[in-house]
Structures are given as C-alpha cells and as structure tokens.
A and B are shown apart, each in its own frame.
Chain A
Amino acid sequence: MNLETLDDALRPALFEYLLRLGDDALILGHRLSEWCGHGPYLEEDIALANLALDCLGHAEALLTLAGEVEGQGRTADDLAFLRDAYDFRNVQLVELPRGDFAFTIVRQFLYATYACLLYKALQQSAFEPLAGIAAKAHKEMQYHLRHSSEWMRCLGDGTEESHRRAQSALDELWMYTGELFEVDDTLRTLTEARIAPDMATLQPKWREQVETVLREATLTVPEDPPYMATGGRHGHHTEHLGHLLAEMQFLQRAYPGAQW
C-alpha cells in the first residue's frame, strides 16, 4: 500500500510509528554532530560528522513521510523544530549526553546493530514508501555498524584505560536498550497490518550479534538490570532532551521561518 491506498484507520498509528523512527535518527544525529570539531583526530572527526549526516538524512525522509501520513501539512522541519520534548518519540538511549568517545561509540554500536536489523526487516513493510526508505537507510547503517564494531574491538581489547571506559559506558547504557524492543498497541496494530516487523523476533538476533562483538572486544555482557528505562516512546524523557532541543531548535523558535 502507499499514501493513496493507506487505510485511514491506520494513519494515527503509522504517524506515531514514523515519529519514533524519525526521532531516534534525528536525536542521535544531533548528538553525533556535537563531535564536529572535537573528534579525537581529524579522520575520526570527519567520520562522526558523516554518521551524523546519515542519521539526519534518515530523519528527514522519515519525518517528511510522517507529515504526509498525518495529512495536516506539517513538513519534516516543522516536526523537528516546532515540537516540544513531550511530543518527541525517540528512545532515551539516543538523547543521553554524548559523554566521552567510548560512550558515543558504545551507544552507536548498540543502536546500529538494532537499526540494521530493523531497517532490513522494514524492507518487507506493506507500506511501500517506508520500505523504500528502509532499503536506503539499511545500506548506510551497515557502514555505521562496521565503524562502531571495529572501534568496540579497539577500545575493549586496547589499553587498560580504553577497556575500562568502554566497559563503564556499556554498563551505563545497558538499561537503556530494553526500550528499543518495547511493544505496545501502536506497534501491535502495525505488525498486524504487516507495516512493522515483529520486534520479538529481532531482539534475540540483536542480543546474539551484540554478544559476539562484545566477546571479541573482551568486554563483559552486563547483567540485566532490575529496571529498564522506559517512556521515550510515549513522550517521557530524561532531562537531557530538553537541553538538546533548546540548542537544536533555538534558531527556528527565535526567528520563525528563518531560511538560508
């Protein structure tokens, strides 16, 4: 099905779902872009800026589609710059401050492993415009996965200090990974309509791939915490998102409609 043949009853759930996908990419892209000019060395600085650009590209495509599905005339820019924190639908994982280089890399690795699996599955989506974006995004996220997996091995199996930092980032981030695979009514509706994949089949694959790289990186898989962070998909965020939006949205809020 496409925009014309989409069942109106599915529109609200699909809009919500596209915001989730688009906001994950947008917020992660913004966090990556914060490294521009601060990377550990020139090539890595450029690499992180490239990863940021890919994420922003995915966000633009997904949020444009979200606006079309919603049918209220909102553009990707409207959705990115004119919503408040409680209207964002990203997981908390992507909004956490960038931390040190190890923290950024571990998060990128955990997310890229998830995104590769998700975008691959979404290529089979019954909603054709989404399947098209997923096919494109999948190609690009594979580069992210390769980049971050290689760094996981360098950091984990590197010096005592790099190992310590990577392990500490992993321990800190683990409680934010549960949210990636959460299922609610929105997702169930779309899985039934064959628009979204069944997350329960993706989670074990994610776990297996993550554990393989962690083993090679001589890092320890964290024990499952008593509490997994949750709420991002419904607009409940950490205090960090508001600060991020204050910076990201400043220009459009101060000078509405400004262009260059």
Chain B
Amino acid sequence: MTPAEILEALTEVRDPEIPVLNIVEMGIVRDVRLEGDTVHVDITPTYTGCPAMRTIEAAIVQTLQARGFQQVVVHKVFREPWTTDWMTDEAREKLRAYGIAPPPPRADEAPELIPLPFSVARGPAVPCPFCGSEQTRQTSAFGATACKALFFCEACQQPFEYFKAI
C-alpha cells in the first residue's frame, strides 16, 4: 500500500463524538509514513484534553492491522496546532446536515482574543443548521465537548451546537 492508500483506509476511522466525520476530513491526520514494515501516523488533537483521542489512536491501529500492517505507530504532534480551517468543505456540509453549525473559515489574521466585552469580541452571526435563520444567540461558549458552543435559534426556537472556529 502507498501512503495515499493508507490515508484512504483511515477514512474509515470516525470521530466517536461526531460520528458523521472521519479523522482525515477533520484534519486530525497530519502525516502518514512507511518505514520498512512500520506505518507511522501523525495525528494532532483538536483540543489537548479531547477524551476521544485515545479511542481514535486505538481505532487507527486496529484499522491498519486489519489491512495487514503489524507495526503501527501513532504519534501525537502539536505543531502546527489544529485549526478548523483544515476541515474540508464536505465535512462542513456533513456537520450542518447532522445539526451542528459548522465553523466558518477563520479571518486570515485572526485577531488575538484580548479581554474585550463579549459584545465586541463576538464574531459574525452563526446561521441555524435547521432553518438557516441568523436570528441566533450564544447561550454558552462551552458545549458537551470542548470543540463546540451552545446556541439558540430565535426563529425556530431550537437549541443547537456550533463547532467553534479555532
């Protein structure tokens, strides 16, 4: 198998917390290298404390062993830090269809988050993934997982999750 084929095989590995996305389209897999019989896979965490990372590591090893690779080494890398900009357009559309508002592309020079009042520091409107309305408000900057925030749609009166742009 070539590294490209290994990468293709890794699209079988899902993020356990967002099962509609695989780890390649999320941008978690950073590099795949073949050295002799050993496959090295570099992954980067979405958030350092993300509890899904261990499950993902185990799933990578399992998936590649099922393809006949006895030696699979997963490396956790922090540089460059993961950004939602690495998510493919297809992945964003899958998120929206799943009911999670996808992250917009970050501004080129993302302004440093300095301690400004929320009203100033807040970015553009987040459209509701259900009805598309922009009449939404953030109810909490933190959701059920580190990567998401909680929102509420005033138009269809539905709470929804938003995948934060980082």
Contact = CB atoms under 8 A, between A and B. Distances in A.
Secondary structure at chain A's binding surface: helix, strand, loop or mixed? helix
B77 A43 contact: no
Interface stretch (B55-63, B93-101, B128-136, B140-148): B140-148
Given A56-B49, A57-B48, A150-B117, A135 B141 contact: no
The 9 closest A-B pairs by CB, nearest first: A57-B49, A57-B48, A132-B79, A149-B115, A43-B140, A132-B78, A53-B49, A142-B113, A47-B142
B78 A145 contact: no
Contact of B47 (A57, A132, A213): A57
Given A135-B79, A139-B166, A55 B141 contact: no
Interface of B: 45, 47-51, 77-82, 112-115, 117-118, 121, 139-144, 146, 150, 166
A209 interface: yes
A44 B118 contact: no
A137 B79 contact: no
B48 A61 contact: yes
A135 B81 contact: yes
B79 A47 contact: no
Contact of B80 (A44, A46, A135, A137): A135
A165 interface: no
A46 B142 contact: yes
A51 B141 CA distance: 11
Contact of A146 (B77, B113, B140): B113
A197 B77 CA distance: 23
Contacts of B114: 209
Interface string A32-53: 0000000000011011011101
Contacts of A213: 115
Nearest to A138: B81
Chain A contact-residue range equals 35 or more
Given A46-B143, A146-B121, A137 B48 contact: yes
Nearest to B140: A43
A56 B48 CA distance: 8
A134 B82 CA distance: 13
B47 to A, nearest CB: 6
A50 B121 contact: no
Given A50-B146, A54-B49, A150 B118 contact: yes
A180 to B, nearest CB: 17
B124 to A, nearest CB: 17
Nearest to B44: A136
A60 B48 contact: yes
A216 B114 CA distance: 14
A55 B143 CA distance: 16
A61 B139 CA distance: 31
A139 B118 CA distance: 17
B48 A145 contact: no
Contacts of B121: 146
12 contacts: A46-B140, A46-B143, A57-B50, A58-B49, A60-B48, A128-B79, A129-B78, A133-B48, A135-B80, A136-B78, A140-B47, A143-B113
